[in-house]
């Protein structure tokens, strides 16, 4: 039994002082008591640590490579995707492991306790499966084993190059499986997780309405009766046009009418929605998996967050392309996008809670639900997913209550995070991951290797 004592803590009933949290050997919170004498060294501000619900780990190594306009005046999401396809022609399983480990380490250092890996890079260059069909899933599991992050693995079903059922392009060939082979891969990926701690779990991810057939999508909840289901939805205008052309409805309309959406579903982006779609999708109980930094970087557009949350819609947060990994910046970017669009302030605040508090509560609950992870609060019985802010850091001096969260999110950065626990594993201590040096060196070698081959 390990005991943490903090001067401030955000408990389900609100802010409390002088709180001790006991973590059992099983990684779950065994007891929480407020108003008790200090035990041990003592921490500053203890918060539940959220889940990062959407990551493509390997893309971390592309960060910064696609910010020039080059010779193409129409640079866009789609030209970015072309570079991504070229880049991954060179990635080996070893590269995938070291890059993913770096990304997971940075997630932990920014305050996430767990990560859902939306994993589509399955096969060798040329599209031939590895001898172990789940080789690259094994590598993601190995990265999680090293970093100690709580992993929700989402093997991705990617079958077609577009809504018309065309074959995969050269850049997509490493992703592809028909449904039968995907089931084999999914079973093998489950085995890849066996050696990881018990907070690890498996879900599934039909890539998008473009990449999976309408018949399979309509039955996905029955085909995979257990675990979370994630899918990209309504990110790009061109995608809306393509789906409307081939399926006779806009993406969100089609998904609502055909896919039996409920709280098992986490729909990533949901950027291109009509107001009526926003209302209907929010009421379906499905989570919106928002990735504000990536959506800004790719110029996707702005999620209709004010309307969504007014309808009781659930949100979760993800780092997606991992162009930059920062929990506080994701939340800040989401709020600022709403203010810029609406010429407003405190767009997502309520009469009861400040912006920072409402966003933080929302992503704690949404992230837990979207990944089926028993987490999201400092209370007995759930995984000990915790983060600690340094209450001596300048942006937090003299602050109390919800203003602590606002000051972190809007005036500070992830440098304020001193410690992070994932299911009781104390992976970030004094601001650094405990295996930072080894993970950094392996990543540096991978980058130099890739630089030589691309
Ligand atoms: Zn994505």
Question: 3-state secondary structure string, the chain?
Answer: CEEEEEEEEEECCEEEEEEEEEECCCCEEEEEECCCCCCCCCEEEEEECCEEEEECHHHHHHCCCCCCCCCCCCCCHHHHHHHHHHHHCCCCHHHHHHHHHHHHHHHHHHCCCEEEEEECCCCCCCCCCCCCCCHHHHHHHHHHHHHCCEEEEEEEECCCCCCCCCCCCHHHCCCCCCHHHHHHHHHHHHHHCCCCCCCCEECEEECCCCCCCHHHHHCHHHHCCCCCEEEEECCCHHHHHHHHHHHCCCHHHHHHHHCCCCCCEEEEECCCCCHHHHHHHHHCCCEEEECHHHHHHCCCCCCCHHHHHHCCCEEEECCECCCCCCHHHHHHHHHHHHHHHHCCCCCCCCCCCCHHHHHHHHHHHHHHHHHCCCCCCCCCCCECCEEEECCCCHHHCCCCCHHHHHHHHHHCCHHHEEEEEECCEEEEECCEECCHHHHHHHHHHHHHHHHHHC
pTM (2 d.p.): 0.97
pLDDT at site 46: 98
Per-residue pLDDT band at 451 (split at 50, 70, 90) = confident
Cα of 397 from ligand 1 centre, angstroms: 37
For CA atoms 237, 240, 245, 250, the dihedral sign is: negative
Q: Which two tokens stand for residue 21?
A: 């949290």
Residues in the chain: 454
Per-residue pLDDT band at 71 (split at 50, 70, 90) = low
Contact 420, 111 (CB under 8 A): yes
pLDDT at site 84: 73
- Range 374-385 average pLDDT: 98
pLDDT at site 70: 60
Cα of 148 from ligand 1 centre, angstroms: 23
Per-residue pLDDT band at 74 (split at 50, 70, 90) = low
Cα of 231 from ligand 1 centre, angstroms: 8
- 355 pLDDT above the threshold of 90: yes
pLDDT at site 69: 67
The CA distance from 52 to 242, in Å, is: 29
Over residues 158-189, the pLDDT tens digits come to: 999 999 999 998 888 999 999 999 999 999 99
- 52 pLDDT above the threshold of 80: yes
Cα of 287 from ligand 1 centre, angstroms: 15
- Range 105-118 average pLDDT: 98
Q: Which residues contact 380 (CB under 8 A, 6 or more apart)?
A: 29, 30, 31, 32
Cα of 354 from ligand 1 centre, angstroms: 29
Range in 5-14, 32-41, 60-69, 195-204 the model is least confident about: 60-69
% of the chain with per-residue pLDDT over 90: 90
pLDDT at site 101: 98
- Range 233-240 average pLDDT: 92
Over residues 294-324, the pLDDT tens digits come to: 999 999 999 999 999 999 999 999 999 999 9
Cα of 232 from ligand 1 centre, angstroms: 6
Cα of 384 from ligand 1 centre, angstroms: 27
pLDDT at site 89: 84
Over residues 329-348, the pLDDT tens digits come to: 999 999 999 999 999 999 99
Q: Which residues contact 117 (CB under 8 A, 6 or more apart)?
A: 55, 56, 57, 100, 140, 151, 152, 153, 154
First to last CA, the chain: 49
Q: Which residues are catalytic?
A: 269, 320
Range in 37-46, 110-119, 133-142, 155-164 the model is least confident about: 37-46
Cα of 235 from ligand 1 centre, angstroms: 9
- 10 pLDDT above the threshold of 70: yes
Cα of 154 from ligand 1 centre, angstroms: 12
The CA distance from 57 to 49, in Å, is: 20
């Amino acid at each position: 039994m390990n005991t943490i004592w903090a001067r401030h803590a955000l408990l389900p009933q609100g802010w409390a002082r002088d709180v001790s949290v006991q973590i059992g050997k099983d990684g779950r919170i065994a007891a929480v008591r407020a108003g008790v004498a200090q035990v041990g060294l003592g921490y500053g501000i203890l918060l539940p640590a959220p889940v990062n619900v959407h990551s493509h780990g390997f893309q971390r190594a592309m960060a910064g490579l696609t910010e020039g306009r080059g010779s193409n005046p129409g640079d866009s999401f789609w030209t970015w995707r072309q570079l991504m396809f070229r880049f991954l022609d060179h990635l080996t399983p070893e590269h995938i492991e070291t890059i993913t480990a770096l990304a997971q380490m940075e997630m932990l250092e920014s305050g996430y306790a767990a990560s859902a890996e939306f994993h589509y890079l399955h096969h060798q260059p040329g599209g031939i499966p590895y001898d172990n069909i789940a080789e690259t899933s094994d590598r993601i599991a190995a990265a999680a084993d090293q970093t100690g992050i709580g992993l929700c693995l989402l093997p991705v079903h990617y079958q077609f190059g577009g809504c018309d059922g065309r074959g995969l392009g050269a850049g997509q060939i490493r992703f592809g499986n028909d449904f039968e082979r995907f089931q084999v891969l999914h079973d093998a990926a489950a085995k890849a997780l066996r050696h990881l701690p018990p907070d690890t779990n498996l879900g599934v991810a039909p890539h998008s309405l473009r990449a999976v057939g309408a018949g399979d999508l309509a039955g996905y909840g029955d085909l995979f009766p257990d675990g979370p289901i994630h899918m990209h939805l309504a990110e790009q205008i061109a995608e809306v046009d393509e789906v409307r052309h081939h399926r006779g409805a806009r993406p969100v309309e089609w998904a609502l009418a055909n896919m039996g959406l409920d709280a098992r579903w986490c729909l990533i982006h949901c950027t291109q929605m009509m107001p009526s779609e926003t209302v209907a999708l929010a009421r379906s109980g499905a989570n919106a998996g928002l990735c504000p930094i990536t959506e800004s970087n790719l110029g996707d557009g702005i999620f209709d967050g004010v309307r969504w949350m007014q309808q009781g819609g659930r949100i979760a947060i993800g780092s997606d392309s991992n162009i930059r990994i920062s929990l506080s910046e994701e939340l800040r970017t989401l709020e600022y996008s709403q203010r810029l669009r609406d010429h407003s302030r405190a767009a997502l605040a309520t009469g009861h809670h400040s912006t920072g508090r409402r966003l933080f509560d929302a992503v704690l609950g949404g992230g837990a639900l979207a990944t089926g992870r028993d987490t999201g609060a400092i209370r007995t019985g759930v995984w000990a997913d915790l983060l600690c802010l340094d209450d001596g850091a300048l942006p937090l001096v003299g602050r109390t209550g919800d203003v602590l969260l606002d000051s972190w999110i809007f005036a500070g950065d992830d440098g304020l995070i001193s410690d992070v626990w994932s299911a009781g594993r104390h992976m970030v201590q004094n601001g650094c991951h405990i295996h930072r040096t080894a993970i950094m060196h392996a990543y540096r070698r991978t980058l130099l290797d890739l630089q030589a081959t691309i």
